[in-house]
Amino acid sequence: METVFSGIQPTGELHFGNYLGAIRNWVALQEKYRCFFCIVDYHAMTQNYDPAEMSRRTLDMATDLLSCGIDPDKSVLFVQSSVPEHAELCWILNTVTPFGELARMTQFKDKAERQEDNINVGLFDYPVLQAADILLYKAKLVPVGADQVQHLELAREICRKSTARWGQYFPEPQPLLSSTPKILGLDGQAKMSKSIGNTISLGEPDDVIRKKLATAATDPQRVRRKDPGNPDNCNLHSLHAFFSSQEQVAWVREGCASASIGCLDCKKVLADNVVSHLAPIQQKRQAFAASPGRVEEILREGGRKARAVATETLAEVRKLIGLWS
Ligand code: AMP
Ligand code: TRP
């Protein structure tokens, strides 16, 4: 059985971008693959954060993932820092990573611009830690959103460099994109991201979800109700494609293009569908909230399973690269 690995930062809120870009794929993949899903707290430390909040954010993210359908009987769900081998392999891979390749990473440049007061070495090294996450479990498939494709390309290159230096050991991983790999934020401009503040999160109450959708940007060409729109230029259309039935999508496409329906009509149908899709996820979250020790237990067990694999890999790697033991 092939191995799947993916990670998500403990931002404390799972938003529609994460869900449609990546997490729904995670849930589907666990039926057929050996899956490791990791809450990457070491990565999250590269941005400004409040230490008093980190462990709550980690538990909240785990609760969200479990509520979406990550099943601890099928997948290993764990926290990155409970497996320190991630940091050890990162160091080893640092020694075959070209500095120039890291300097090209667009996410590093974007984040460095947004946190000018904190351009730390960890932020620069972030993609190498990500490569270590994946290679530690010898994962071949990595389900992510489009924003991670460049990091995956680098992970593949690091893998090839490690083969050139030490011989064949790690398999080369591949990204796996969902049919909605890039969800824009409610502003319709940038990708949906917590740090930009343009998100809808899965845990939001129904009335907030409805209100946020009602004010979300649509096709910028459609200024007045009677202007025909182009659904392909409307960010909400990618949400319809996922949450609505084929008939509803056809109704929206026709109605928007002919201006026979307004954006509010389209948004109302979308909001109803989103709210009913999220209802069972929200119910599960409430059930987990009622037994708080359960999530911690799942993470500890996941940490034990992941660590067993990681220590084995590291023992082999240390031998391969010629360290004394
Ligand atoms: P992050 O919250 O940055 O840790 O991202 C977790 C996963 O969600 C990664 O696979 C990302 O590629 C994916 N993701 C994050 N934001 C978006 C977005 N706006 N559209 C599609 N996928 C996304
Ligand atoms: N950098 C990824 C993100 O922000 C999260 C991540 C860390 C990851 N390690 C990973 C994703 C390994 C896939 C595989 O979305």
| Residue 325: predicted pLDDT | 82
* Ligand showing the shortest atom-to-Cα distance for residue 127: 2
Q: What's the gap in Å between 124 CA and the centre of ligand 2?
A: 14
Residues 25 and 132 in one domain: yes
| Residue 195: predicted pLDDT | 85
Does 9 contact ligand 1 (Cβ within 6 A)? yes
CATH code for the domain of 143: 3.40.50.620
| pLDDT mean for each 10 residues of the chain (325 residues) | 97 93 97 98 97 96 97 98 98 98 97 96 98 98 98 98 98 96 93 92 95 95 93 92 95 96 96 97 94 94 98 98 94
Residue 192 lies inside a defined structural domain of this protein: no
Does 42 contact ligand 2 (Cβ within 6 A)? no
Residue 194 lies inside a defined structural domain of this protein: no
Residues 171 and 312 in one domain: yes
CA distances from 163 to 136, 169, 311, 312 (A): 14, 7, 20, 19
Q: What's the gap in Å between 184 CA and the centre of ligand 2?
A: 19
Residue 307 lies inside a defined structural domain of this protein: yes
Half-sphere exposure of 102 (CA within 13 A, CB side): 20
| Residue 37: predicted pLDDT | 98
Residues 106 and 74 in one domain: yes
**Per residue in 264-315, pLDDT tens?**
999 999 999 999 999 999 999 999 988 879 999 999 999 999 999 999 999 9
Q: What's the gap in Å between 172 CA and the centre of ligand 2?
A: 16
Residues 247 and 313 in one domain: no
Residues 175 and 246 in one domain: no
Q: Domain total for the chain?
A: 2
74 labelled catalytic:
no
Residues 211 and 178 in one domain: no
User: Strands 34-39 and 174-176, how do they pair?
Assistant: unpaired
Q: What's the gap in Å between 146 CA and the centre of ligand 1?
A: 8
Given the residues 191, 211, 268, 305, the one annotated as active site: 191
Helices (H), the chain: 16-18, 24-29, 41-44, 51-68, 85-94, 99-103, 106-114, 121-136, 149-166, 206-214, 235-243, 246-257, 263-290, 292-321
Residue 191 lies inside a defined structural domain of this protein: no
Given the residues 74, 140, 182, 194, the one annotated as active site: 194
Does 192 contact ligand 1 (Cβ within 6 A)? yes
Residue 189 lies inside a defined structural domain of this protein: no
* Ligand showing the shortest atom-to-Cα distance for residue 15: 1
Residues 301 and 270 in one domain: no
Nearest CA to ligand 2 atom 14: 6
Does 4 contact ligand 2 (Cβ within 6 A)? no
CATH code for the domain of 219: 1.10.240.10
268 labelled catalytic:
no
Residues 313 and 220 in one domain: no
| Residue 289: predicted pLDDT | 87
The CA distance from 159 to 171, in Å, is 7
Nearest CA to ligand 1 atom 8: 18
Nearest CA to ligand 2 atom 8: 7
111 labelled catalytic:
yes
Residues 218 and 93 in one domain: no
Q: Containing domain of residue 167, as a range?
A: 3-183+292-321
